[in-house]
């Protein structure tokens, strides 16, 4: 195998969700870089894969990244895995992939389990347009600002959340985005897999009763799109005359282009405004 960095998705719960290709590549590479080697050893043992393992997690990304890059530079093949799901998706890996790409080392992603995508596909919420925004900040102020930034996006919002923060995050969603439809997808591909669906106000009591434990994805339906009111002809003309200092003729031409009103109508309105202003 030539020097290649494989980004290998592993199951998010159910071990049957590994792909044939992932098992083959993990068995063929020279080195496996794992977020937590002890955790990944269980998965590798399950599939009878015995390969040199090195850890690669946030705190030592810099150092281990260099070591992994060196192995790749020497022509070795490396598979990057995380504790669950797809590496780089709210998991370490981005820096390594970026550096490998910068050095011209081939990077090959092996598609597979990802909690965000599994949750979205089973949610029943619009999936043609969505935004995955990862974990919301832990502190309330920052979390509300984070949600407010997402408020006007047109598609479904997909978030990861820790179970002990779910209640407060739903409360902030309610406060910031209103009573939108949400889906709390928990324990995907595991025994207690569950989708809790409804308006945020309806889902909050179930969560407060402690019914949503385990690993969780929150999906938020798009808000209603409130069309922006076009600026009325007279307000627009007033602004063009007063603030932009345009002549009656130029203001009328610009306003008719913006509003679609006829040039004559815009001209008479602009003239009237200018005359009124001169009389005042
Ligand atoms: N890289 C992973 C992926 O591809 O989904 C995500 C890793 S991130 C550190 C872990 C978060 O993903 C959890 O806190 C939870 O929000 C979500 N998650 C992972 N497994 C899940 C599952 N089986 N069911 C629901 N959410 C899950």
The domain that holds 131 is classified in CATH as: 3.30.950.10
Summarised one tens digit per residue, pLDDT across range 91-129 is 999 999 999 999 999 999 999 999 999 999 999 999 999
Pocket, ligand 1, Cβ cutoff 6 A: 12-13, 82, 84-86, 89-91, 114-116, 160-162, 185-190, 215-217
Q: Are 173 and 220 in contact (CB under 8 A)?
A: yes
Domain shared by 60 and 89, yes or no:
yes
pLDDT at 245 > cutoff 60: yes
pTM of the model: 0.81
What does the pLDDT read at residue 209?
A: 81
* One domain, residues 52 and 146: no
CA of 3 to the centre of ligand 1 (A): 30
Tell me, yes or no, whether 176 and 262 share the same domain: no
What share of the chain in percent tops pLDDT 90?
A: 79
Q: Are residue 138 and residue 216 in the same domain, yes or no?
A: yes
The reply to whether 80 falls in a domain is: yes
Query: Could you write out the DSSP letters of every residue in 15-69?
Result: GGGS-HHHHHHHHHSSEEEESSHHHHHHHHHHTT----EEE--GGGHHHHHHHHH
219 and 182 Cβ atoms separated by less than 8 Å: yes
pLDDT tens sequence across 62-77 = 677 889 999 999 999 9
279 has pLDDT over 90:
no
CA 141 / ligand 1 centre spacing (Å) = 24
* pLDDT score of 229: 64
| pLDDT range class, residue 33, cuts 50, 70, 90 | very high
The answer as to whether 227 is a domain residue is: no
CB count, 10 Å around CB of 173? 25
Instruction: State mean pLDDT over 48-69.
Output: 84
- The reply to whether 121 and 213 lie within a common domain is yes
Residue 271 corresponds to which tokens in the numbers above? 């003239």
Domain range spanning residue 156? 116-220
Protein residue with least CA distance to atom 2, ligand 1: 85
Nearest CA, atom 16, ligand 1: 160
Tell me what pLDDT residue 225 has.
Answer: 61
Report angle CA 210, 211, 212 to the nearest 5 degrees.
95
Which of these, 200, 169, 207, lies nearest to 183 by C-alpha position? Answer: 200
Ligand 1 center to residue 160 CA distance, Å? 7
CA distance 69 to 79: 12
Band of residue 2 on the pLDDT scale cut at 50, 70, 90? confident
Sign of CA dihedral 232, 234, 240, 242: negative
Cα 5 to averaged position of ligand 1 atoms, centre (Å): 23
Cα distance between residue 53 and residue 93, in whole Å: 15
Q: How confident is the model at residue 228 (pLDDT cuts 50, 70, 90)?
A: low
Query: Both 12 and 109 in a single domain?
Result: yes
User: Among the three residues 88, 113, 138, which one is the final residue of a domain in this structure?
Assistant: 113
- Report CA dihedral (51, 54, 56, 62) to the nearest 10 degrees: -140
Encode pLDDT of 135-157 as tens digits.
Answer: 999 999 999 999 999 998 999 99
pLDDT of amino acid 277: 87
Q: What gap in Å lies between CA 186 and CA 49, rounded to an integer?
A: 29
Is 85 within the bounds of a domain?
yes
Taking CA atoms only, the protein residue closest to ligand 1 atom 20 is 12
84 C-alpha to center of ligand 1: Å? 7
CA of 85 to the centre of ligand 1 (A): 7
Cα 99 from chain centroid (whole Å) = 23
Closest ligand 1 atom, residue 114 Cα? 4
pLDDT higher than threshold 60 for residue 234: yes
- Measured from the CA of 186, which atom of ligand 1 is nearest? 25
Ligand 1 center to 14 CA (angstroms): 13
How many residues are recorded in the chain?
A: 280
**Residue 227 pLDDT greater than 80, yes or no:** no
How far apart are the CA of 196 and the centre of ligand 1, in A? 17
Atom number in ligand 1 closest to CA 115: 5
Pocket test for ligand 1, best of 121, 170, 215, 219 (most atoms within 8 A of CB): 215
State which ligand 1 atom lies nearest to the alpha carbon of 193: 24
> Residue 26 maps to which CATH number?
3.40.1010.10
Burial of 84 (0-12, 13-18, 19+ CB in 10 A): buried
* Residue 60 pLDDT greater than 80, yes or no: no
Q: What is the pLDDT of residues 159-186, one digit of tens each?
A: 999 999 999 999 999 999 999 999 999 9
| 16 lies in the same domain as 84 | yes
Are 35 and 107 in a shared domain?
yes
Same domain, 106 and 25: yes
To the nearest 10 degrees (0 to 180), the angle between helices 166-177 and 200-208 is 160
pLDDT category, 273, cuts 50, 70, 90? Answer: very high
- How many domains does one find in the chain? 3
Whether residues 47 and 135 fall in one domain: no
In whole numbers, what is the pLDDT of the chain averaged over residues? Answer: 93
pLDDT(226) > 60:
no
């Amino acid at each position: 195998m030539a020097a290649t960095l494989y980004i290998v998705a592993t199951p998010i719960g159910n071990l049957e969700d590994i792909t044939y290709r992932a098992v083959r590549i993990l068995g063929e590479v020279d080195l496996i870089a794992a977020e937590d080697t002890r955790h990944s050893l269980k998965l590798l043992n399950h599939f009878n894969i015995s390969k040199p393992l090195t850890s690669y997690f946030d705190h030592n990304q810099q150092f281990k990244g260099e070591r992994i890059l060196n192995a790749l530079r020497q022509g070795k093949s490396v598979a990057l895995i995380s504790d669950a799901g797809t590496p780089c998706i709210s998991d370490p890996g981005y820096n390594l992939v970026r550096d490998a790409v910068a050095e011209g080392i081939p990077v090959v992603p092996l598609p597979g389990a990802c909690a965000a995508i599994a949750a979205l596909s089973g949610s029943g919420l619009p999936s043609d347009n969505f935004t995955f925004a990862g974990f919301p900040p832990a502190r309330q102020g920052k979390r509300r600002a984070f949600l407010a930034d997402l408020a006007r996006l047109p598609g479904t919002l997909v978030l990861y959340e820790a179970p002990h923060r779910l209640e407060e995050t739903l409360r902030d969603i309610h406060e910031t985005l209103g009573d939108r439809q949400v889906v709390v997808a928990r324990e995907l591909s595991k025994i207690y897999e569950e989708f809790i669906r409804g308006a945020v106000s309806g889902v909050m009591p179930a969560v407060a009763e402690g019914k949503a434990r385990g690993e969780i994805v929150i999906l938020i339906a798009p808000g209603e799109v409130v069309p922006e009111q076009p600026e009325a002809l007279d307000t627009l003309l007033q602004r063009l005359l007063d603030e932009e200092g345009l002549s009656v003729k130029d203001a009328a031409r610009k306003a008719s282009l913006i509003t679609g009103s006829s040039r004559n109508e815009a001209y008479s309105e602009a003239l009237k405004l200018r005359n009124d202003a001169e009389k005042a």
